[in-house]
Structure 1
């Protein structure tokens, strides 16, 4: 496919990136800490950690893995924590020791955790005590040698750390009872690491940096093999895209999405590490009043999130009272950004909510909208530098501009394959090396891509394709709707019919009013035949609405 998108690139954005700047993520880290040593790298619950302090602590943790545990280059180390200071210390420490990081969702059930630990072969885990009871249930069935348990307050220091842990354990009772014999505290691991000297491994772009698990909502989770080169490629691509609009050492980014998720890991943690930014870690973004209160303490410049997160912020009355004078960039990914949310965001903050697109398998960014976009455009943007896009039909033939087809991607950010799954890897790649995303997209003559929907989520009504994203966008524009999900259900006359699940903002909203609204904005066969009101919709760990869970039952319907 001709790279028509290059003609739409903003000034200063190159067509290709430089992969040679960093030999590895350890190299990126060491260059960054030397350059920005005195600057604040992380803020969490009022505690700050400078780049220089992060350097010291992560080196101690790396030396612990090497010197105390004897872990060799490529050993898998599992991290099971939300956004706390221990995460970047352990993550960068593992990379500096030459290990492979296995990110684990702390909300996993025992079954899901057992699968990931067994599949990855990780025999060392760093886990927050709040989730240690889950690990305890599987320890007899997984090859675990070392368990490091930490608490929310452990790196906060002094009275504050003790107080946080007391409240979490005794007042809010957020730590279920657990017992793991022989475990270490995080502080003990750091003390032991201080006895050893880090032996810096020779790492290159081909070494495995992360096993990032994906696909758990559609089947058995698979580990995407993301190399140092994949991640360096993607952070260089993202940096090239935003570079003309940001300043080294002056950005403050809000990190509400969990760092163990690939979007937050690459965008917030690594790309902005290169910029010497201050990263404000939000441990519990579901506490929207607390989140907004924390936002009020910082002159933040950047925030990333998913549509449901932005929507929740906008529906908190205190959010509109925040100071947005330093604000530059809001980036939405993980799920479609709805127009109603984007328009309200623009109205309140004065900035466009930019939609981007990516996958775990692509480290993750594939496309991003230009930062000088004047208004929300309902696209996922343009392919970022050094990225090739091909939109293909079911027979693998490239379609014409303006025609829908499966979005296929090739570039330095595309994974090596799935861990220990050669057959799955072979199925997802084309003969000429493009990754099949499973998403249906359309590219216009300027190179902007509109994501239509997931192939498997498409609804077929009397032979006509109906894409849930379009229906959801229309329903969400109704002022009485807080959240919505659409999917297809069997229908005797039309094969399938559209059903919507709605969380009401206005308790008086009726099914009849919603159907009438849809009839005004959708062709007849796209109008929902069924409406079900719910108190809440099932969501993933980052807030993405799970249509599959709704098909399987989801939470109970509203009375």
Structure 2
């Protein structure tokens, strides 16, 4: 189904629409043709309908092309984080029951180690993008188009990972039907026009980066992929120059990115930019004001989750919409506020949604599903309000998840890793605001079982966790403050000692 939507979009899209990166341009008609050939090759090589296939790919045109090839073959796309520590990468792939891997050539060693960890060297199919041998994507592309399966709305299409509002990262399955409805909603709200160019600099395993490219393709608009080996703070000038010189019309990212761009000293003007949208983390008024003053462009916000896909989007040009609103609920989505204890007043409640685009449940997690998905409704764990005009504003979280640089981080996962260190008797992780940016950073509060220094504990975490999960502060205490019933008083741990 998803591949069929790309076929339909390619037939109607202008010849100038497609996937861009550097000097390369691939029109959607070529993406459709390559995807079909690669899909046929995958089927011939034993990748059956329903097979979860891990993608260890640099974000770019090849990632999206391979994703559509897997959609066409009836396989399940599983974007994986190639930068994750080896243990974490293997653990997440096992959760998704990954049975084959496709990797960019620079990630060949990572892919080989993953295959070895999952099943032993050479025991799982591994295809490399960029090679030329029999196990390369180029070899798959040489197959004639044949045997593509008929797919229905209930066929699995995508597995992504979320710590969301319910704990340690879980596999979030989405079907062809769920993704198709989400894409249709984006089209109906005219989120993208055929002459739009959206710049995409998010990691390929990030839900925002991956899903936004499928929305753009479904509308027949173009995606400009941007990648720089240097950290964003060192490459932001080149990124801004690409926005200007390539005629980018849509910019989507996390608040940190917009704050960095607002601080540019370079002479740059985003003259063609018609929409700049922030997502992933709540937008601060200071960032909104700085970006508006620097570029004369109002930042809007989008609200979604891996489980629900699009929930609400502020796409309008109405200047009367509050700056901190995430807009109105997405098409076909029922939005409710359920009473919940919170510090924001009785008009605020937990956001509960239902939609045909929402996942039917986490993979292999019946207990979590019973708590989070009830009577066809998803309990987001977010606190919010809704105005009489229908505009939604997010106020906070009703659960413990910490949002770090656009990622939702579960403190329990980090605490479990720290608890395996011989010098740690007890560990609690909390989020505290950075004094300069206001963004959340992680602090680990440790009761020591033996002498150890903070840097050693940070290194221990870095070897076992993704970068966004590594505490930047380690604080030692004699005891963890607890209530009379033994509940950890996390609020007290956010205070300096």
Q: Which of these residues, 368, 373, 378, is aligned with residue 318 of structure 2?
A: 373
Secondary structure, counterpart of 2:203 in structure 1: coil
Q: Which residue of 1 aligns with 2:195?
A: 250
2:9 paired with 1:62: no
2:444 paired with 1:444: no
User: Conserved in 2, the CA contact under 8 Å of 1:235 and 1:266?
Assistant: no
How far apart, in 1, do the equivalents of 2:137 and 2:442 lie? 45
Q: Which residue of 2 aligns with 1:334?
A: 280
* Deviation per residue, 1:299-345 (Å, 9 max, x gap): 11111101111112222223x513x3322111111111111111222
* Deviation per residue, 1:423-478 (Å, 9 max, x gap): 22122112x2210111122223332222121223499xxxxxxxx99x96xx88xx
2:431 paired with 1:485: no
TM-score, with normalisation over the residues of structure 1? 0.68
How far apart, in 1, do the equivalents of 2:281 and 2:251 lie? 16
Secondary structure, counterpart of 1:296 in structure 2: helix
2:53 paired with 1:77: yes
Q: What is the Cα deviation at residue 141 of structure 1?
A: 2.9
User: Conserved in 2, the CA contact under 8 Å of 1:332 and 1:354?
Assistant: yes
How far apart, in 1, do the equivalents of 2:149 and 2:263 lie? 49
The 1:214/1:123 distance shift into structure 2, 3 A limit, reads same
Secondary structure, counterpart of 1:381 in structure 2: strand
User: Conserved in 2, the CA contact under 8 Å of 1:352 and 1:373?
Assistant: no
CA RMSD of aligned residues (A): 3.3
How is 1:241-390 mapped onto 2 (pairs within 5 angstroms)?
241-243=189-191, 246-247=192-193, 249-267=194-212, 269-284=213-228, 286=232, 287-318=235-266, 321-322=268-269, 324-362=270-308, 364-374=309-319, 377-390=323-336
User: Conserved in 2, the CA contact under 8 Å of 1:257 and 1:304?
Assistant: no
* Deviation per residue, 1:70-128 (Å, 9 max, x gap): 22211111111121221011111110111110111121111121112222222211112
Which 5+ residue runs of structure 1 have no aligned equivalent? 1-23, 156-181, 460-467, 491-537, 554-559
User: Conserved in 1, the CA contact under 8 Å of 2:165 and 2:381?
Assistant: no
Q: What is the Cα deviation at residue 255 of structure 1?
A: 1.0
How far apart, in 1, do the equivalents of 2:164 and 2:298 lie? 32
Q: Which residue of 2 aligns with 1:49?
A: 26
The 1:549/1:367 distance shift into structure 2, 3 A limit, reads farther
How is 1:57-136 mapped onto 2 (pairs within 5 angstroms)?
57-67=34-44, 69-136=45-112
Secondary structure, counterpart of 1:253 in structure 2: strand
User: Conserved in 1, the CA contact under 8 Å of 2:67 and 2:77?
Assistant: yes
How is 1:403-482 mapped onto 2 (pairs within 5 angstroms)?
403-430=347-374, 432-457=375-400, 481-482=436-437
How far apart, in 2, do the equivalents of 1:183 and 1:26 lie? 25
2:150 paired with 1:207: no
User: Conserved in 2, the CA contact under 8 Å of 1:230 and 1:414?
Assistant: yes
User: Conserved in 1, the CA contact under 8 Å of 2:164 and 2:305?
Assistant: no
* Deviation per residue, 1:373-421 (Å, 9 max, x gap): 31652122221221111222359xxxx9952221111112211111122
How far apart, in 2, do the equivalents of 1:424 and 1:550 lie? 30
User: Conserved in 2, the CA contact under 8 Å of 1:339 and 1:376?
Assistant: no
The 1:60/1:45 distance shift into structure 2, 3 A limit, reads same
2:8 paired with 1:31: yes
How far apart, in 2, do the equivalents of 1:391 and 1:452 lie? 12
User: Conserved in 1, the CA contact under 8 Å of 2:249 and 2:272?
Assistant: yes
Q: Which residue of 1 aligns with 2:115?
A: 139
How is 1:149-164 mapped onto 2 (pairs within 5 angstroms)?
149-151=128-130
Q: What is the Cα deviation at residue 283 of structure 1?
A: 2.2
Q: What is the Cα deviation at residue 351 of structure 1?
A: 2.3
User: Conserved in 2, the CA contact under 8 Å of 1:26 and 1:92?
Assistant: yes
User: Conserved in 1, the CA contact under 8 Å of 2:40 and 2:145?
Assistant: yes
Number of aligned pairs? 422
Which 5+ residue runs of structure 2 have no aligned equivalent? 403-429, 446-461, 476-497
The 1:415/1:237 distance shift into structure 2, 3 A limit, reads same
How far apart, in 1, do the equivalents of 2:325 and 2:42 lie? 44
The 1:187/1:453 distance shift into structure 2, 3 A limit, reads same
TM-score, with normalisation over the residues of structure 2? 0.76
Q: Which residue of 2 aligns with 1:17?
A: none
Q: Which residue of 2 aligns with 1:224?
A: 172
Secondary structure, counterpart of 2:58 in structure 1: coil
Secondary structure, counterpart of 2:161 in structure 1: strand
The 1:183/1:404 distance shift into structure 2, 3 A limit, reads farther
Q: What is the Cα deviation at residue 357 of structure 1?
A: 0.8
Q: Which residue of 1 aligns with 2:135?
A: 184
Q: Which residue of 2 aligns with 1:158?
A: none
How far apart, in 2, do the equivalents of 1:216 and 1:234 lie? 19
How far apart, in 2, do the equivalents of 1:458 and 1:219 lie? 7
